[in-house]
Chains A and B, each alone.
Chain A
Amino acid sequence: MLEIRNLHATVEGKEILRGLDLTINKGEVHAIMGPNGSGKSTLAKVLAGHPAYVVTAGEVLYEGKNLLELEPDERARAGIFLAFQYPVEVPGVSNAQFLRLAYNEQRKYRGEEELDPLEFKDLLAERAKIVEMDAGLMSRSVNEGFSGGEKKRNEILQMAVLEPKLAVLDETDSGLDIDALRIVADGVNHLRTPENAIILVTHYQRLLNYIVPDFVHVLWRGRIVRSGGKELALELEAKGYDWLKEQGAEASESAVTVSAK
């Protein structure tokens, strides 16, 4: 579904991703871990097409097509979803109105008929159950005055409504108490199917107790320095990142040598 090859990306002129490779097939859940500043969120934003992040080398194929030449809204309509670490407020626009617009854009793209507000209301009520979201939040402005937990749940609600093929969850667990974490994780598990794929960007192993990944990757200085199964996350929890950082440093040394040749 997704193939990332030798991806290099900068933000404000600073190189963050430095030759990242990653392959994701449908039905898989991949966890991306790593210390602060290793490039986890950058990867998420590059995949979604944030204009401040510039790809300087490498390629990203999504369903066999060049993802990098698509605008963010085109990527979204093609099935890529980013659950934001810091969801944005849109004053004066109700959550339901925003979700219906987004949902209908996708339907239009797929050549399906748009839903009218009443039809959509039913769909929304059904999906809201997945994240135990209060109906009162639907008529409020998007994320305005939402608590941290409500904002994150709202992200998963959007995911539930839009049913993406590839969902990238950027530190969705940060700032959540244990109950909210459970609700969010249950929601994601509910949406996990053999047809879609999920990338979980996280700092902590805790989330992975609830959403069990097929693969765990460790990002360090803009590249993946270690990949493994779910047990790698436990190892990281026990040992920290330092032992990998040393390996990562060696790996980038050798990469430099190789490219110099």
Chain B
Amino acid sequence: MSSIELLTNKEYKYGFVTDIESDVIPKGLSEDTIRLIVEKKNEPDWMLEFRLKAYRHWLKMQEPKHWPNITYPEINYQDVIYYSAPKQKATKASLDEVDPELLRTFEKLGIPLSEQKQLAGVAVDAVFDSVSVATTYKEKLKKHGVIFCSFTEAIREYPELVKQYLGSVVPTNDNYFAALNSAVFSDGSFCFIPKGVRCPMELSTYFRINNAESGQFERTLIIAEEGAYVSYLEGCTAPKFDRNQLHAAVVELVALDDAEIKYSTVQNWYAGDETGKGGIYNFVTKRGACRGRNSKISWTQVETGSAITWKYPSCILQGDNSIGEFYSVALTNHAQQADTGTKMIHIGRNTRSTIISKGISAGKSNNSYRGLVKVLAGAAGARNYTQCDSLLIGSKCGANTFPYIEVMNNTARVEHEATTSRISEDQLFYLMQRGISQEDAVSLIINGFCKDVFRELPMEFAVEAQRLLGMKLEGSVG
């Protein structure tokens, strides 16, 4: 048993801090902070207006403390740094001009950025604290008409596109954390796939929070025009700090007629220690609009990190025959808390949605699925299938399911299935009796449980996700 205890305390291997000189603004949030960010980023007036409008909404809004099944101490929004950027040359002729320390950091995280070592088949935008530090394969993608760049660059180079779509899926006053993000977001990724183009490679963004006192507020906007297709991946890690850090992101997806966006996340923010000290507060708003007929948006998420996860990647199924999908694995261990799920809003006719949610709770953690399926009056023939499964490991954790169903059209068909199970001693014994070690047995059971979600992930991500779950759960049984 002692070896199992040793494994429980296994280090979070992404917990290192990069020693780099940064341009940091003072803590605190006010209209002046926003003006300072705009000034730092040299943004146009319309961005300042967008931000100030969001900020003024935010001041009047209430933090959603009551309905989610999570508890945390008061967040002091004046004690957060809203902008922290590693000092480097503003424009770089090539990726090799990126600060070597940053290149080393991302390489350590498994994301090589330099020209010779780039990952084949995947373009990466690397975001470090408040700014994007490098984007690979930009030129190659441009040849296909695909725009993939940092948000800062998008505002500068493609202002009309940004103006047209920014805030069109998640309005500035949508919710408390989205309003906060809209006011202070400092960078993120922008993807535009023009009409009829199938993006020739996977696009991805890797988010890294480094500064102990800064929050990360990034924004992702993906637009797939008529008939376009893109598969996008995001990954996230942060160093181990004793204090909690705030991460409030907004992701907006827009799919026009016959377009498809596949969005996959493997979230591994620092989760805090076993007692619940430290870790990321992950308050994220992700929403996709299936604006066009026959469009499709598919969310796949593997949530393993963060002290608190509050996120509900959703689909607005506006176009007739459009499809929304949500595949989720949320794992909580030790003192982690997750309240996550989705919203499927059926507006168009014959719209379809599928929700597959797999919650795994271990340690003293608390894991809730919260989902809304809403069928509006005009959504004749709408269909939804929801399956929520919870797996408990040990006896001190909790799992909850909060499904909300609102149907206003009587031709709609909505199905909901839910199960709760526990890894049993007999299941483990059976596998071990065949010569499989306890750890491998646990990971076999977990991977079997998550299979329906993992098969939606791109191959390399699926392998990474399986490995990650195994690592997160080592020693939690026995």
Size of A's binding interface in residues, CB under 8 A: 29
Q: Is the CB of A92 within 8 A of B434?
A: no
List residues of chain A with CB within 8 A of the CB of B437. Answer: 73, 105
List residues of chain B with CB within 8 A of the CB of A92. Answer: 447-452
Nearest CB on B from A75, distance (A): 8
Segment of B162-170, B332-340, B424-432, B468-476 in the binding face: B424-432
Q: Is the CB of B426 within 8 A of A73?
A: no
Q: Is the CB of A72 within 8 A of B427?
A: no
**A146 at the A/B interface (Cβ < 8 Å)?**
no
Tell which of B424, B436, B451, B452 touches A105, judged by Cβ atoms closer than 8 Å. B436
Q: CA of A92 to CA of B438 in the docked complex: distance in angstroms?
A: 18
Most buried by B among A52, A90, A141: A90
Quick one: closest B residue to A45, CB to CB?
B429
Tell which of B424, B436, B447 touches A102, judged by Cβ atoms closer than 8 Å. B436
List residues of chain A with CB within 8 A of the CB of B463. Answer: none
Most buried by B among A73, A88, A102, A106: A73
Size of B's binding interface in residues, CB under 8 A: 24
Q: Is the CB of A73 within 8 A of B438?
A: yes
Q: Is the CB of A72 within 8 A of B448?
A: no
**B contact face: mostly helix, strand, loop, or mixed:** helix
Nearest CB on A from B182, distance (A): 40
Q: Is the CB of B444 within 8 A of A90?
A: yes
Quick one: closest A residue to B441, CB to CB?
A73
Q: Is the CB of A72 within 8 A of B429?
A: yes
Segment of A11-19, A76-84, A120-128, A189-197 in the binding face: A76-84
List residues of chain A with CB within 8 A of the CB of B448. Answer: 90-93, 141
List residues of chain A with CB within 8 A of the CB of B433. Answer: 48-49, 72-73, 75-76, 81-82, 84
Tell which of B430, B435, B451 touches A88, judged by Cβ atoms closer than 8 Å. B430
Most buried by B among A87, A101, A109: A101
List residues of chain B with CB within 8 A of the CB of A50. Answer: 429
Q: CA of A50 to CA of B430 in the docked complex: distance in angstroms?
A: 9
List residues of chain B with CB within 8 A of the CB of A98. Answer: 431, 434, 444
List residues of chain B with CB within 8 A of the CB of A75. Answer: 433
Task: List chain B positions with a Cβ less than 8 A from chain A.
Answer: 424-427, 429-438, 440-441, 444-445, 447-452
Task: List chain A positions with a Cβ less than 8 A from chain B.
Answer: 48-52, 71-73, 75-77, 81-82, 84, 87-88, 90-93, 98, 101-102, 105-106, 109, 141, 158, 162
List residues of chain B with CB within 8 A of the CB of A88. Answer: 424, 426-427, 429-430
Q: Is the CB of B430 within 8 A of A76?
A: no
Q: Is the CB of A90 within 8 A of B427?
A: yes
List residues of chain A with CB within 8 A of the CB of B432. Answer: 71-73, 76
Q: CA of A73 to CA of B434 in the docked complex: distance in angstroms?
A: 7
List residues of chain A with CB within 8 A of the CB of B441. Answer: 73
Report if A93-B435 is in contact (Cβ < 8 Å); known contacts: A72-B429, A88-B430: no
Nearest CB on A from B432, distance (A): 4
Nearest CB on B from A224, distance (A): 24
Report if A93-B434 is in contact (Cβ < 8 Å); known contacts: A72-B429, A88-B426: no
Nearest CB on A from B140, distance (A): 35
Q: CA of A49 to CA of B430 in the docked complex: distance in angstroms?
A: 11
Closest 4 pairs (CB-CB, A-B): A92-B448, A102-B434, A93-B448, A76-B435
Q: Is the CB of B445 within 8 A of A93?
A: yes
List residues of chain A with CB within 8 A of the CB of B447. Answer: 92-93
Nearest CB on B from A77, distance (A): 5
Tell which of A51, A84, A91, A102 touches B435, judged by Cβ atoms closer than 8 Å. A102
Report if A84-B430 is in contact (Cβ < 8 Å); known contacts: A92-B448, A92-B450, A93-B447: yes
Q: CA of A7 to CA of B431 in the docked complex: distance in angstroms?
A: 25
Quick one: closest B residue to A72, CB to CB?
B432
Quick one: closest A residue to B438, CB to CB?
A73
List residues of chain B with CB within 8 A of the CB of A52. Answer: 425
Q: Is the CB of B434 within 8 A of A162?
A: yes
Nearest CB on B from A48, distance (A): 5
Q: CA of A187 to CA of B433 in the docked complex: distance in angstroms?
A: 20
Q: CA of A82 to CA of B441 in the docked complex: distance in angstroms?
A: 17
Tell which of B425, B435, B451 touches A106, judged by Cβ atoms closer than 8 Å. B435
